Amino acid sequence: MVAHASSWQAAGSAVVALHGWEFPLPGDAELAGTSGHARQGWMLLARGREPLARVAWRRHDATPDLDRSLDKAGEELCRRGGCQRLTVRRAVGDHQRQGEWDGPTGTWHAAVRYFPGTQLTLAVTALVPDLAVAELMAAAQAQAPDAPWRWCAYGLDADLPSWWRLVGMQAYAGLVRAVWDHRPQERFRADALVVLRRHACAARLLAGRDPAAWLAAGLDRPERIEAQSVADEVVRLVVSRPAAIWWQRIRGRRDQRVLHAWQETEADRLVVQEWRGDGEPLPCLRRAAAEAMA
Amino acid sequence: MNRSSTSLAIPALAPGVVVMRTASGVCRLRSAPLPRRGLHRLLARVLRLPACIELELDDLGTWVVERLDGRNLERLGGELATHARLTRREAEVALGDFLRQLVARHLVRLQTEGAA
C-alpha cells in the first residue's frame, strides 16, 4: 500500500533535519522512526508499510575510516538481502564512499559520507533492492556548529540555535511533540526548555475559539496571564506562576512561561510553542517559508 | 490475521445492533441483548446492570459508522485521512483504536473479504 502525499501533509516535508544535518526524503517516503541523540543515532524511512532505508549518524573527534564504515553497512545488507560480495566500491571525493552488493533479489546500495568541520558521518543503507541512495547522500547537508540548526520531522519545522539539544520527540496519531533543552557548559541541569506541539484537527480542537482563548483555557489554576499579543496570526502569551522552589516562592518570585500558538490552515494543524526557564525567551519559531509552501 | 490481511478486513455492525439518531444528528448505537447465563444473569438482575451496551458517538464516529457498508479498512482509512486532513498513518491508527473499542463492546465485528 502506498501512502500518497496529500496537499495537507506537513509543510517542508521533503527533507528530514535532525541534530545538525538534513537528509532528503525519496518520493512519497516518510520518517517512520528515530532513535539516538546528537552524537549518534539512526532513523528509518518508509513508504507506506514498506521500509525503504536506514540512515545512521555519528559524531566523533577522529576522522573516520570510510571504507571500514562502508563494509560495516554492507554487513547488514548481506544479512537482509542474502548478498555474497561487494561488487562495486566507489569513492566520491575524499569524504564519500558508495557501495553496491549483488543479491538474488537485486542490487543493494549503501553510502557513507563524512562532513569535515562538523565531525559528522552519515551512513545510509537501502532496505529494498535497487534503491539509489547515492543521489540521496549527495543531497544531504550538515549544518555548521555556529549556525542555526533546522529541525524538520513529523511535520514540525523550526530553526533553533545549535546549542539547543533535542531531549525527545514523540509522534502520535494527532500529536507531534518535541522537547529541546539548553544546558550551559554541558551541565547536568538544563536552564531552559522549549516544547513544540503540533496538534491535528485544529478546527475541532479550537471549536470556534481563537488560539488565545484556547491557550488561556488550558492554563493551570495558579497561573495568570501577564501579557498577551497577536502579530502575524501568531498569539503570544506570557504566563507566570509561583516559583517551584520554596525559598524562591517565599521571596515572591514567579516562574514564567512564554507560549506562542499559530494555525496551519491548509493542514488543519495547531502548533503551540512553549518556553520556560532562565534568560531571554526564544522568539516565535514559525517558519514563514514553510507556511508559504503549504 | 497478519498486517496486510488486516487492512483488507471489512468492519460491519454486529448482528442485532440498532443505530439511532439523536437530535443533534449523531449516532447512538445499541448492542443486542448481552448473553448472560446462570450466576452472571442473577448478578446482573441484582445489580440492575443494563441488558445492552449503548454508546453515543461524536460527529467523527458517526461519519465512520455511516461508512460501514462493505468498505475495507484500507479504503476507510484513506477516506478518513481525506475527511479529517490527517496523514495516512494517523488515520489508520485513529480508525484502528476506534474500531477496537467498538469491537470490545460487541457493536462492530471484522469480516474477511471472502466472508463478507
Q: Closest to A49 (Cβ–Cβ): which among B3, B81, B90? A: B3
The answer to whether A28 and A14 are in contact (CB under 8 A) is no
Model pTM score = 0.83
User: Which of A:40-59 have CB within 8 Å of B?
Assistant: 48-49
Residue B34 contacts by C-beta under 8 Å, 6 or more apart in sequence? B51, B52, B53, B106
Residue numbers in A near B74 (CB within 8 A): 1
Taking the CA atoms of B96, B98, B103 and B108 in sequence, report the sign of the dihedral they define. negative
Three cell numbers at A88? Answer: 562495486
Task: pLDDT tens for chain A, 294 residues: list them.
Answer: 223 333 334 433 589 999 999 999 988 888 999 999 989 999 999 988 889 999 999 998 888 899 999 988 888 778 776 776 777 888 888 899 999 988 888 888 999 999 988 899 999 999 988 888 988 999 999 998 888 999 999 999 999 998 899 999 999 989 999 999 998 876 678 889 999 999 999 999 999 999 999 999 999 999 999 999 999 899 999 999 999 889 999 999 999 999 999 999 989 999 999 999 988 899 999 886 444 433
Q: Which residues on chain A are in Cβ contact (under 8 Å) with B81?
A: 6
Interface contact A268-B87, CB threshold 8 A: no
ipTM more than 0.85? no
- Residues of chain A in contact with residue B90, where contact means CB-CB under 8 angstroms, are 173-174, 200
- Which ranges of chain A would DSSP assign to H, the alpha helix? 66-81, 133-139, 202-206, 211-217, 246-250, 288-293
What is the rounded end-to-end Cα distance, in angstroms, of chain B? 16
Interface of B with A (CB under 8 A): 3-4, 7, 60, 74, 81-82, 84-91, 93-94, 97
C-alpha–C-alpha distance, residues A6 and A28, integer Å? 10
Q: Is A200 on the interface with B (CB under 8 A)?
A: yes
Distance from CA of A101 to the nearest CA of B (A): 29
Closest CA to A270 of A255, A258, A259, A256: A259
How far is A211 from A236, CA to CA, in rounded Å?
10
How near does any CA of chain A get to the CA of B66, in Å? Answer: 20
Test the A interface: residue of B80, B88, B93 with most A CBs within 10 Å = B88
Element containing residue B83 per DSSP (H, E):
helix B73-84
pLDDT in tens, B64-105: 999 999 999 999 999 999 999 998 889 999 999 999 999 999
Nearest to B14, CA basis, from B68, B62, B63, B58: B68
Please report where in the chains the cell 437530535 appears, as a residue: B23
Q: Tell me whether A85 touches chain B (CB under 8 Å).
A: no
CA distance A271 to chain B (A): 15
B86–A4: do the CB atoms touch at under 8 Å? no
Query: Across the interface, which of A3, A30, A201 has its CB nearest the CB of B84?
Result: A201
Q: Is A2 on the interface with B (CB under 8 A)?
A: no
Q: Which residues of B touch A6 (CB under 8 A)?
A: 81-82, 85, 87
Share of chain B above pLDDT 70, in %: 91
The B18-21 sheet, strands edge to edge: B18-21, B27-30, B54-56
What backbone phi and psi angles, to 5 degrees, belong to A233?
A: 65, 20
CB contact under 8 A, A267 and B90: no
Nearest chain B alpha carbon to A4:
B88
Note whether B85 contacts A1, CB cutoff 8 Å. no
CB-CB contact of A26 with A134 (8 Å):
no
Residues of B in contact with A4 (CB under 8 A): 88
d(CA B31, CA B34): 8
SS3 of chain B: helix, strand, coil, percent, to 5: 45, 15, 40
Contact between A133 and A53 under an 8 Å Cβ cutoff? The reply is yes
Distance (Å, rounded) from C-alpha A242 to C-alpha B84? 40
Would an 8 Å CB–CB cutoff place A240 in contact with chain B?
no
Q: Contacts for A12-16 with beta carbons within 8 Å, 24 or more apart? A: A12/A152, A12/A157, A12/A287, A12/A289, A12/A290, A12/A293, A13/A152, A13/A155, A15/A152, A16/A43, A16/A45, A16/A152, A16/A153
pLDDT at residue number B89: 87
Q: Is the dihedral of CA B13, B14, B15, B17 positive or negative?
A: negative
**DSSP string spanning A140-192?**
-EE--TTSPEEEEETTEEEEE-TTEEEEEEEEETTEEEEEEEE-GGG-SS-SE
The residue among A261, A252, A253 whose CA lies nearest residue A211 is A261
A4 in contact with chain B, both atoms CB, cutoff 8 A: yes
Provide the grid cell at A183: 544546558
Residue B107's pLDDT is what? 94
The amino acid at residue A256 is Q
Contact flag A1-B89 (C-beta cutoff 8 Å): no
Q: How far apart are CA A24 and CA A160, in angstroms?
A: 20
- C-alpha span between A15 and A12 (Å, rounded): 7
Query: How does DSSP assign B52-63, residue by residue?
Result: S-EEE--HHHHH
Give yes or no for a contact between A232 and A211, defined as CB atoms under 8 angstroms apart.
Answer: no
Determine whether the interchain pair A3/B88 forms a contact, defined as Cβ–Cβ distance below 8 Å: yes
**d(Cα A211, Cα A228) in Å, to the nearest integer?**
11
The Cα–Cα gap between A108 and B82 comes to: 35
Nearest by CB: A8 against B4, B85, B89 = B85
